[in-house]
Amino acid sequence: MKKTKVNEIENFRIGNAQDLEGATGCTVIVCEKGATAGADVRGGGPATRETDLLRPENMVQQIHAVTLSGGSAFGLEASSGVMEYLKEKGIGFHMGDIVVPIVCGACLFDLAVGENTHPPKKFGRIACVNSEFNLVEHGNVGAGTGASVGKVLGKEHSMKSGLGTYALQCGELKVGAIAAVNACGDVYEPNSSIHVAGLYDPATNTYMDSEEMIMEMAESRPHENTTICCIITNAKQTKAQMNKVASMAQDALARTIRPVHTSSDGDTVFAMACGDVEAPTDLVGIMAVKALEQAIVDGCKAAQDAYGLVCWATLNEKKAD
């Protein structure tokens, strides 16, 4: 198994649109050929679109895009711009002369970081147009523009996070992950006690432990959370298999974010497959977990200082001093 680039997975394109002043944006993963897909929602406060149709027993067999968006539930509007873009290209579910693009989506809460704004409908279209360039972008872009982590004690103890990507290849099989990291808790290197970002003390430039703090306070107040992700692969899989892949991929959140899947989180993982590579579902799922772990870490390490929030690189410079 080797590392590859997420934009080298055939049949998929990734594009971003953002409002840097408003601290919000959206990320679109487009598959014009249509992808079999699944989803797994673990957070207690999701803002999602078209997840029910991904259940194996439901009629629609393929989707054409996933939209990851800021703006909380308001951000679901961006998917309508994605639909318009795809409809103009004749891409979608065909019923006679009628074409309905199938676009799934999920949103994170970034309203308190910037100017209490959200990605409008036109941002979905802009992200689709940008996907035609299919660039790999990280950090303060797309759905990661207003993302932050470590929110237990409020903004003054939080850190900037963002959008991360990572991809792996095993033989002809490719699996990639895109993650907008916006957790209430702390982000760690996978299966370790090594902090990447989260709750910290600005007076000493040292990390704190969100779970310990919640237990000390004996309460967990609502926070502006949610990590939203998408797995893409060139494997040949069914809807049921991709739902299993999405479920397995949630392990990546459990291995890197503490706490995670809380009542105020909307943690959601989509999984899309478009290709003809025969591969066991468990192999696809294992690779998805490993790719998503690193995408979550990348989303924190690639972020830059913004909106009064310090990033991983800056905090490490301060600690070195």
- The DSSP bridge partners found for residue 26 are 17, 69
What percent of the chain is modeled with pLDDT above 90? 78
Where in the sequence is the domain holding 220, given as residue range(s)? 2-320
pLDDT number for residue 223: 62
Q: What is the pLDDT of residues 283-312, one digit of tens each?
A: 999 999 999 999 999 999 999 999 999 999
Tally of CB atoms within 10 A around 135: 13
pLDDT of 255 above 90: yes
How far separated are the first and last CA of the chain, in Å rounded?
Answer: 38
The enclosing H or E element of 257 equals strand 257-258
DSSP 83-141: HHHHHHTT-SEEETTEEE--EEEEE---TTTTTS----HHHHHHHHHHHTT-----BSS
- The yes-or-no verdict on residue 217 having pLDDT over 90 is no
Asked whether the beta carbons of 120 and 77 are under 8 A apart, the reply is: yes
pLDDT for 45 equals: 83
With contact defined as beta carbons under 8 Å apart, do 81 and 122 qualify? yes
User: What mean pLDDT do residues 161-186 have?
Assistant: 97
CA within 13 Å, CB half, 65: 33
pLDDT score of 226: 87
Give the predicted TM-score (pTM) of the model: 0.95
Cα 11 from Cα 187, distance rounded (Å): 31
**139-145 average pLDDT score:** 98
Distance CA(313)–CA(321), nearest Å, equals: 13
DSSP state of 270: E
The mean per-residue pLDDT over the stretch 190-196 comes to 90
Amino acid 251: pLDDT = 96
Task: Take residue 186 and report the two structure tokens written for it.
Answer: 């702390």
- The mean pLDDT of 50-54, rounded to a whole number, is 93
Instruction: Give the lowest-confidence range in 29-33, 53-57, 140-144.
Output: 53-57
Domain of 158, CATH number, reads 3.60.70.12
**Distance, CA of 85 to CA of 61 (rounded, Å):** 21
Residues with Cβ within 8 Å of 300's Cβ and at least 6 positions away in sequence, in order, are 149, 159, 161, 162, 164, 181, 187, 196, 197, 311, 312
Q: Could you tell me which residue, 114 or 256, shows the higher pLDDT?
A: 256
At 321 the pLDDT is 61
- Count of domains observed in the chain: 1
Residue 225, pLDDT score: 77
Q: What are phi and psi of 143, to 5 degrees?
A: -65, -15
Q: Give me the chain's average pLDDT, please.
A: 93
Across the range 30-40, mean pLDDT stands at: 97
Question: Look-up: residue for tokens 């990546």?
Answer: 252
pLDDT at 320: 64
What are 66-116's pLDDT values in tens digits? 999 999 999 999 999 999 999 999 999 888 889 999 999 999 999 989 888
Closest CA to 9 of 191, 243, 209, 165: 165
Is the bond leading into 259 cis (omega within 30 degrees of zero)?
yes
